Amino acid sequence: MESASITFPYVEVLVDQKITKPLCYENRGLSLQIGSRVIVPLRNKLVKGTVIRHLAKPSFEKTAKIDSLLVEESLTADLMQLAKWMSDYYLTPYQKILVTLLPSSLKKKTEKEEQYFIERKGTTQQLTDAASKIFDPSNPQKKVLETILMHPKGLYLSKILELAQVSKSPIDTLVKKGLLDLKKIEIDRSYFQHEEFIKAPAKELNPEQQIALDRIVKKMQSEKFHTELLFGVTGSGKTEVYLQAMQRARDLGLGVIFLVPEIALTTQTIERVRSRFKEQIAVLHHRLSDGERFDAYRGILNGKISIVIGARSAIFAPVNKLGLIIVDEEQDGSFKQTEEMPCYNARDIAIVRAKLQDAVCLLGSATPSFETFYNTSLDKYGISILNKRAKNNPLPDVKIVDMRHEDDKKKGHCLFSDLLLDKIKERLEKGEQILLFLNRRGFFKCQVCTTCNETMKCEQCDVCLTYHKGENILTCHLCGFTIDPKKANCKKCRSNDTMRFKGPGTEQVERALKAIFKEARVLRMDRDTTRHKGSHDDLYRQFKSHKADILIGTQMIAKGLDFPSVTLVGILNADSMLHIPDFRASEMAFQLLSQVSGRAGRGDFPGEVILQTRLPDYQVIHHASHEAYIAFYNEEISIRNQFGYPPFKKMIRIVLKSLDIDLLNRYGAYLTGLIEKNKEKDVDVLPYTLCGLTKAKGEHRGQILIKATKFSSIQKIAVLIQPQKKIKVLLDVDPIQTFF
């Protein structure tokens, strides 16, 4: 912890329960500070809480005593400041923010893991002499001695039992003889800490990269807050700038947090960071076990670990002397929490946290969010531009294929164009790799009635059921509801045997490719193939080591991944993201198409992209095919300005949920009227409507969108929203989507 521990007779504690007011407790001589996590009595049971204030006198006549201090859960001073800011900005109770800042593993009972470890107690000569006196090679003691002589640093008990093929009895005997030492030691469960990585030297930077690095280092040396956008085309070497900036931060004795949006990117990032840094590194994301998260958090808190890599929640890691925060693919929607309050954006939290610690926040992207790029035009953020690819190789050649003509030729809906199939065949013959992108899981998107065109939907959610051929089920990707497709009848017209499948998914693409190119080795990366821990790592490494020729995937393969042997990218359906009635739809489509195109030609051979579409005249597709970000931004930003959307106005999305749709609609209409009546002049209120996803997990969903010039006007509106029975309210500040 940064500040010295002080003993005060009383403290105010905000408990983790649903009590928003702090409670006063007597401190029984514990060294407590603001942010200390404690266990306190409440209503005849013990609960966890956070110390938020020191008191010289009690605020109540009768005060209970603090039970104990949870040293390994303490929140640092800067995280307490951050929590206060988050509570005000994201309109969420302070107590809920404090709980959010702690990893889930600390909220459960997670114990340290210990194992027995065996070391030599006698000298090498003594152990050698003892072994030589035993003539029988099958003697258990001789086996143990020979094994330990081959491992001078010692072995875990479980390992020596496995290697020597003995029981624990001969080990106990050798301990009694004074030849071995057996003791319990704590196991470090931190992710990847015991894997070996080939060390790699820093690469020589080109002039653009060097200018960018010099700017970042200068800001770190000044020890003043700064936000810098590293804006570079795909393959321009942003990661190398990150790594060298991290090295300079460590040379200055500063800690680093490196955020990536997808778990698929974590493995690649870890490999690159571990190849440069000898020190311990913590990895934080939701696929880790509780033990791994627990050990990583403790290592960060006690200062043993100064580099953290992770997804969204890693921004809350208690890194000592934090000097550099890197947010790779800063525009990515995965950094935004949308399912529960606080609906924070880790990118924005990174900027605020850097400000609180006079650190540098480095945002990287080939397709920055409009908010970020707009802030560079206001000089709120600095900007470093990388116009060329790191190896000076050209951007991939993009060919747009009008799939309407392909459908006419094949007299039906076509999955692959002739051009794409020819290009795949050509790359396979050359031994090069191919990446195919389709942002849709499953075998078929949906099942449709041929009589009335009704789609088979989930009973709990307003989404169509997706067919998975491998399991032969129709399933809901929101709540997990499943049904046998043979039992699926039309709910509208009650017709039997009229349900037909439509809309290909990644599973169908995989099967089709294996049928067309029988010798090709095909991998698929989507949520269905990456459910289990380590599955991302396994698929990434298989493709990276060229154990597969074709990788098919959803958006998790679109960003950041670097496969030098990929020379062909196929975008199978670029249109699926263009029809969403959301003011960000064009921006998100441009980003995704540009990013996936950028996976091609990153190595020594030129890349090519085949972009299949039935909307070839859309400006988004035209700009994305040329990576023409500036032209696209200039067109879209003028529209945003004209209609008063972010970044020109602040926005909040009020999402209402209820099992009773009539109650929901009545409250939505009432709340809209209440806001209209009490709003400030700078506030625009869009009428209450049902969400695009009208029902999820049995709950009906409605929304109110509010825009305002001043954020204080939105804060005043939030005060009007009081808790309601049978209605859940979610306040989403700075929403990344306004439809679903």
What's the 3-state SS for 248-303? HHHHCCCEEEEECCCHHHHHHHHHHHHCCCCCCEEEECCCCCHHHHHHHHHHHHCC
CATH of the domain at 604: 3.40.50.300
Mean per-residue pLDDT, 615-619: 88
- Distance, in Å, from the CA atom of 27 to the CA atom of 296, rounded to the nearest integer, reads 29
Omega prior to 564 cis, within 30 of 0: no
Closest CA to 83 of 103, 99, 107: 99
Cβ neighbourhood burial of 392 (10 Å; 0-12, 13-18, 19+): exposed
- Distance, in Å, from the CA atom of 217 to the CA atom of 255, rounded to the nearest integer, reads 14
Domain contains 271? yes
Cβ proximity of 609 and 569 under 8 Å: yes
Domain contains 89? yes
Q: Per-residue confidence at 112, pLDDT binned at 50, 70, 90?
A: low
Mean per-residue pLDDT, 231-258: 94
CATH of the domain at 161: 1.10.10
**Is 529 a residue whose pLDDT tops 90?**
no
Instruction: Show which of 504, 524, 542 is a domain's final residue.
Output: 504
- Distance, in Å, from the CA atom of 454 to the CA atom of 446, rounded to the nearest integer, reads 10
Three-state DSSP at 437 gives strand
Contacts with 84 (C-beta within 8 Å, 6 or more apart), sequence order: 94
**pLDDT recorded at residue 580:** 79
**Is 129 a residue whose pLDDT tops 60?**
yes
Q: Per-residue confidence at 377, pLDDT binned at 50, 70, 90?
A: very high
Same domain, yes or no, for 233 and 168? no
**Is 523 a residue whose pLDDT tops 50?**
yes
**pLDDT recorded at residue 394:** 86
CATH of the domain at 74: 3.40.1440.60
Element housing 693 (H / E) = strand 689-696
Same domain, yes or no, for 418 and 510? yes
Mean per-residue pLDDT, 334-349: 95
CA-based torsion, 535, 332, 79, 242: positive or negative: positive
**pLDDT recorded at residue 116:** 83
Strand-strand pairing, 23-26 and 64-65: parallel
Three-state DSSP at 561 gives coil
- CA torsion angle for 671, 677, 680, 681 (degrees, to 10)? 120
Domain contains 202? no
Q: Per-residue confidence at 510, pLDDT binned at 50, 70, 90?
A: confident
**pLDDT recorded at residue 723:** 80
- Distance, in Å, from the CA atom of 560 to the CA atom of 329, rounded to the nearest integer, reads 7
**pLDDT recorded at residue 682:** 94
Same domain, yes or no, for 422 and 526? yes
Alpha helices, H only, 500-573:
506-516, 535-544
> Read out DSSP for 537-549?
HHHHHHHHTTS-S
Condensed to tens digits (0 to 9), the pLDDT of residues 303-325 reads 899 999 998 999 999 999 999 99
**pLDDT recorded at residue 4:** 44
For the record, the structure tokens of 629 come out as 């970000």
Same domain, yes or no, for 634 and 527? yes
**Is the pLDDT higher at 530 or at 272?**
272
- Distance, in Å, from the CA atom of 283 to the CA atom of 266, rounded to the nearest integer, reads 8
Same domain, yes or no, for 460 and 589? no
- Distance, in Å, from the CA atom of 91 to the CA atom of 93, rounded to the nearest integer, reads 7
What distances in angstroms separate CA 180 from CA 124, 126, 127, 155, 541, one per listed residue?
A: 11, 11, 9, 11, 40
**Is the pLDDT higher at 443 or at 356?**
356
Closest CA to 137 of 146, 128, 129: 146
Same domain, yes or no, for 240 and 341? yes
**pLDDT recorded at residue 710:** 95
Give the number of other CB atoms < 10 A from CB of residue 430.
11
For the record, the structure tokens of 630 come out as 């500036």
Same domain, yes or no, for 243 and 284? yes
- Backbone φ and ψ for 594, nearest 5 degrees, come out as -65, -40
Closest CA to 225 of 322, 342, 309, 157: 322
Domain contains 539? yes
Closest CA to 362 of 528, 521, 232, 500: 232
For the record, the structure tokens of 554 come out as 């959803």
Instruction: Show which of 643, 669, 690 is a domain's final residue.
Output: 643
Same domain, yes or no, for 570 and 628? yes
- Distance, in Å, from the CA atom of 226 to the CA atom of 223, rounded to the nearest integer, reads 9
For the record, the structure tokens of 526 come out as 């989507």
Alpha helices, H only, 10-156:
77-89, 94-100, 104-107, 124-132, 140-149
CA-based torsion, 44, 48, 52, 53: positive or negative: positive
Domain of residue 529, residue span: 393-440+506-643
Same domain, yes or no, for 610 and 708? no
Closest CA to 149 of 178, 169, 128, 135: 128
Contacts with 314 (C-beta within 8 Å, 6 or more apart), sequence order: 257, 259, 284, 285, 308, 346
Global confidence as pTM: 0.82
Domain contains 118? yes
Same domain, yes or no, for 602 and 617? yes
Domain contains 3? no
Domain count, the chain: 6
Mean per-residue pLDDT, 171-182: 89
Condensed to tens digits (0 to 9), the pLDDT of residues 576-609 reads 777 778 889 899 999 989 988 888 888 788 899 9
For the record, the structure tokens of 176 come out as 């009694």
Instruction: Show which of 603, 627, 643 is a domain's final residue.
Output: 643
Mean per-residue pLDDT, 668-688: 94
**pLDDT recorded at residue 492:** 63
**Is the pLDDT higher at 414 or at 666?**
666
Domain contains 195? no
**pLDDT recorded at residue 2:** 41
Buried residues in 11-41 as b, exposed as e (16+ CB within 10 A): bbbbbbeeeeebbbbebeebebbbbbbbbbe
Same domain, yes or no, for 589 and 498? no
Same domain, yes or no, for 718 and 605? no
**Is 287 a residue whose pLDDT tops 70?**
no
- Backbone φ and ψ for 726, nearest 5 degrees, come out as 65, 10
**pLDDT recorded at residue 479:** 73
**Is 347 a residue whose pLDDT tops 60?**
yes
Residue with tokens 């009848």: 489
**Is 161 a residue whose pLDDT tops 50?**
yes
What angle (nearest 5°) sits at the alpha carbon of residue 540, between those of residues 534 and 543?
140
**pLDDT recorded at residue 1:** 39
Domain contains 721? yes
The region of weakest confidence among 76-85, 261-270, 421-430 is 261-270
Condensed to tens digits (0 to 9), the pLDDT of residues 136-148 reads 888 989 898 988 8
Mean pLDDT over all residues of the chain? Answer: 86
The region of weakest confidence among 171-175, 295-299, 363-367 is 295-299
**pLDDT recorded at residue 220:** 96
Strand-strand pairing, 382-386 and 522-525: unpaired
